[in-house]
Amino acid sequence: MGVVAEAPQGRRRFSVGYVVGADGARSTVREMAGIASDVSAPTMSAMMGLVRIPDDQAVPVGWHRTPRGWLITKKGFDGHTLVHTLACGDGSSRRHVPLTLEELSSQVAWIVGHAVTMSAPRWLSRFSDFTRLARTYRAGRFFLAGDAAHVHFPIGGQGLSTGVLDALNLSWKLGLVVRGAAADGLLDTYGLERRPAAQKVVDNTRAQVALMGPGTELDSLRTLLTGLLESGRGNDFLSGMISAQDTVLPASPRYGSPHEGTFLHNIELITAKGPSDLIGLLGEGGEPLLLLFGEGGGRYAQTARAWERSLRVVRCRPAGLVPYSAVLVRPDGYVAWASDGGGPLADALAALFGAAPGPGPGPVPGLEEVPAPGPGAAPGLEGVPA
Ligand SMILES: Cc1cc2nc3c(=O)[nH]c(=O)nc-3n(C[C@H](O)[C@H](O)[C@H](O)COP(=O)(O)OP(=O)(O)OC[C@H]3O[C@@H](n4cnc5c(N)ncnc54)[C@H](O)[C@@H]3O)c2cc1C
């Protein structure tokens, strides 16, 4: 497929296998690929700017709710103030029209109920709770990532991180497929895994927007939620949701282990080369890792030989307890398979990379032997304490 790019040096034509549209909310790639989206009309309009407000103006600093909306201000540098307004119930979004100082000033006045003088804008911008979620993240050889795939109200600061996680999910899959180390079907899992994650973000931002309604009829709901947060009981759930660390891969096949499809937090490891950790190993080559703990991993290493171009096999010892003797970790940190479920490793490898091309000759690729445990060191076997 041919792609024309316009660079400062002029137009250049590239022959490419795939196109990833990481080109923002108004994505040209999304339009060219003909990818439709689910959209929700805005219910509020928001403005922001870095402006000068004289000290004698009665504009409070911080978050302030009035019967008409919100004013959020923060002292900036150089005598400037960062001003946000949220006009709830105003879905007449003018999001394609550049914001003027006069419009921001009159919006502030309308929300707080008196005129406010402002000047010397450094920048001005507007946004809304308009949402868009692409119906598919893949159309043939086109993919979408970031705001090109999902747009929502920026509350909770989740937009950029959701896009980064898209990129993390797609990049290793594209890398393997492009170099022939995995079948094209692996790329279908990208949207199956990432679209539900974006849907959750869209949903939680809409819930937060609903809670911001200025009317007193929401006060009892706000009081209830404040109580829940102060009790500490909902905090793990909410922080897992906002940070996305609670994400369990929905489309991931399961082979019996409860760890499959979950994010594996960093673990310290002793490898043949010395102390390391999961993040360090994943960062070395960016390929999927089959970690073999203890002495019983030989048969897994033999199974993995047939997919030698797709993964790296490392025999190691964990610094603490682990609940399995072998685990297959994807480059994005998710567990694709673990031995404690009893399911065959070959099935998991075939599902990820495609049917086995057949065992390669010679030793297991990338298999690094780990030194024997010293006195008191963790043997790393299932259920054996450190
Ligand atoms: C007010 C506000 C506050 C926010 N605060 C947060 C926050 O605190 N935390 C957070 O995580 N997120 C936040 N977000 C969301 C975050 O800004 C976006 O989710 C993020 O910037 C999206 O990144 P992106 O790379 O997908 O798209 P963009 O940042 O839009 O980047 C797309 C890039 O593609 C380029 N491009 C487009 N078309 C073409 C083309 N045809 N050829 C070449 N290049 C092209 C553009 O120039 C641009 O550089 C906020 C958003 C808003 C509106």
Q: What is the pLDDT along the chain (386 residues), one digit of tens a residue?
A: 888 888 888 999 989 999 999 999 999 999 999 999 999 999 999 999 999 998 777 787 899 999 999 999 999 888 899 999 999 877 776 778 899 999 999 999 999 998 989 999 999 999 999 999 999 999 999 999 999 999 999 998 999 999 999 999 999 999 999 999 999 999 999 999 999 999 999 999 999 999 999 889 999 999 999 999 999 999 999 999 999 988 999 867 888 999 999 999 999 999 989 999 999 999 998 899 999 997 777 899 999 999 999 999 999 999 889 999 999 999 999 999 999 998 999 999 999 999 976 554 444 444 454 444 443 333 232 222 23
**Centroid of ligand 1 to alpha carbon of 22 (angstroms):** 9
110 SS3 class: helix
Residue 24 CB less than 6 A away from ligand 1: yes
**Centroid of ligand 1 to alpha carbon of 130 (angstroms):** 15
Residue 49 CB less than 6 A away from ligand 1: no
Q: What pLDDT, on a 0 to 100 scale, did the predictor assign at position 366?
A: 47
Q: What pLDDT, on a 0 to 100 scale, did the predictor assign at position 384?
A: 26
CA distance 80 to 78: 6
The bridge status of strand 142-144 relative to strand 19-21 is: parallel
Q: What pLDDT, on a 0 to 100 scale, did the predictor assign at position 296?
A: 72
Tokens coding 354: 């495609």
Give the pTM. Answer: 0.88
CA dist 202 → 57, 241, 299 (Å): 37, 12, 44
Strands (E), 325-376: 326-329, 335-338
CA dist 74 → 48, 60, 154, 217, 345 (Å): 11, 9, 17, 28, 55
Q: What pLDDT, on a 0 to 100 scale, did the predictor assign at position 304?
A: 95
Spell out a b/e string for 332-345, using b for 16 or more CB atoms within 10 Å of the CB, else e: bebbbbbbbbebeb
Note whether 272 and 315 are within 8 A (CB). Answer: yes
**Centroid of ligand 1 to alpha carbon of 147 (angstroms):** 6
Q: What pLDDT, on a 0 to 100 scale, did the predictor assign at position 385?
A: 28
Looking at residue 36, its amino acid is A
Strand order in the sheet with 142-144: 19-21, 142-144, 138-139
Our mutation pick for probing the ligand 1 site, out of 12, 130, 160, 165, counting the most ligand atoms within 8 A of Cβ, is 160
Q: Which residues sit opposite 290 in a β-bridge?
A: 313, 328
Closest atom of ligand 1 to CA, residue 29: 41
Q: What pLDDT, on a 0 to 100 scale, did the predictor assign at position 81?
A: 94
Cβ neighbours for 338, distance < 8 A, ≥ 6 positions apart? 255, 257, 259, 260, 323, 324, 326, 327, 328
**Centroid of ligand 1 to alpha carbon of 221 (angstroms):** 33
